[in-house]
């Protein structure tokens, strides 16, 4: 895997421009497994503060939350055992912005198949687990998106497939005729790993959702 701050020849990339107004934004990242550290590096470069989330108390002071990749069954069990399952649902209901990548996208779906699994049910979409088989399948492709003028780099690692989406779901990027980046209101999901690329467009869009979210607006108004 390529760090978002290394190019293909191993050289360091130049720092990316920070996003205006996020210096006091705190993004929680579920730190159970997966590339939570890579998400933190990307957000740090964009000027946002990050916090590793493992308990409901950790989530309390966050403006936004990222559910990273990993193994969705393991993460679901952790959320349920630690009281984070209900805490995350309440966070979303209160207007907190949430972004799930790969396994995180599975956790956000309203319907999970292949095999079926419980989920947070925060995005009206059907997701197929193990869509490319259970083997370690990792590929890098490029596909169209609404975030950039050029095809977006898409890093897939044992990726699920968004098989269908419900009304009001905005498709922000596609590959192979299927959505790979979607959002509705303050919740966003990707079946790929933007934290493993050099392109900050997806994290920038998430920070925009955080800044515009009801939870963040209420905090600023205090």
Catalytic residues: 102, 193, 195
User: How do beta strands 161-165 and 170-175 pair?
Assistant: unpaired
Q: Where are the alpha helices (DSSP H) in 83-147?
A: 84-93, 103-108
36 and 68 in contact (C-beta within 8 Å)?
yes
Question: 159: closest CA among 178, 186, 183, 146?
Answer: 178
The torsion angles phi and psi of 39, rounded to 5 degrees, stand at: -60, -45
Going by C-alpha positions, the residue among 203, 198, 100 that lies closest to residue 155 is 198
Q: How crowded is residue 134: how many other Cβ atoms within 10 Å of its Cβ?
A: 8
> Pick from 71, 72, 32: which is nearest to 52 by CA?
32
Tokens 């979303």 — which residue?
92
Those residues whose C-beta lies under 8 Å from the C-beta of residue 220, and which sit 6 or more positions away, are none
User: Any idea how long the chain is?
Assistant: 222
């Amino acid at each position: 895997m390529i760090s978002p701050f290394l190019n293909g020849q191993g050289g360091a990339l130049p720092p990316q421009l920070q996003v205006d107004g996020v210096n006091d934004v705190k993004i929680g990242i579920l730190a159970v497994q997966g590339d939570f550290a890579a998400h933190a590096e990307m957000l740090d470069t964009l000027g946002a503060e990050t916090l590793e989330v493992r308990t409901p108390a950790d989530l309390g002071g966050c403006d936004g939350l990222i559910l990273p990749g990993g193994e969705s069954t393991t993460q679901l069990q952790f959320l349920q055992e630690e009281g984070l399952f209900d805490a995350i649902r309440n966070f979303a209901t209160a207007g907190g912005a949430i972004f799930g990548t790969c396994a995180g996208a599975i956790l956000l779906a309203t319907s999970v198949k292949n095999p079926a699994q419980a989920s947070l049910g925060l995005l009206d979409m059907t997701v197929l687990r193990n869509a490319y088989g259970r083997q370690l399948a990792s590929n890098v492709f490029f596909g169209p998106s609404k975030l950039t003028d050029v095809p977006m780099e898409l890093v897939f690692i044992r990726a699920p497939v968004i098989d269908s989406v419900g009304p009001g779901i905005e498709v922000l990027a596609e590959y192979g005729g299927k959505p790979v980046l979607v959002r509705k209101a303050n919740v966003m999901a990707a079946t790929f790993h933007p934290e493993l690329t050099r392109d900050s467009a997806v994290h920038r869009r998430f920070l925009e959702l955080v800044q515009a979210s009801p939870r963040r607006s209420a905090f600023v108004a205090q």
